Amino acid sequence: MDSSRIDNLKAILAADPQDTFARYALGLEYTSLRDFEMAKDIFEEIYAIDPAYVATYYQLGKTYEQLGDESNARKIYEKGIFVARSQNDDHTKSELEQALNDLL
């Protein structure tokens, strides 16, 4: 485990707890380590702090899937589609729609 990236991201967040990108990157690090519980907690924090951060919806949905929680994955994909549409982010909207279709 390369804890240096995690430690660096935690240091960034200690200096600026509102840094959504650093928090998102930390969630991705935990995902790459297959620590889905920790990743879920981080992505849920982003969802609560910055619900407009549209990339979170895909990662949180996939994390729910890894944890066997298809119901919450479906809900988060649907919310993410709405947010992506409201931001005219067709690329993310398409990714979320595909993830939702794959789940169904």
What pLDDT sits at residue 3?
Answer: 76
Count of Cβ atoms closer than 10 Å to residue 17 Cβ: 11
Domain that holds residue 88: 3-103
81 within 8 A of 99, measured Cβ to Cβ: no
Residue 20, domain CATH: 1.25.40.10
Provide the number of structural domains found in the chain: 1
pTM score, whole prediction: 0.92
Per-residue pLDDT of the chain (104 residues; tens, 9 = 90+): 567 999 999 999 999 999 999 999 999 999 999 999 999 999 999 999 999 999 999 999 999 999 999 999 999 999 999 999 999 999 999 999 999 999 88
Q: Which two tokens stand for residue 85?
A: 């549409």
What pLDDT sits at residue 104?
Answer: 80
What pLDDT sits at residue 2?
Answer: 62
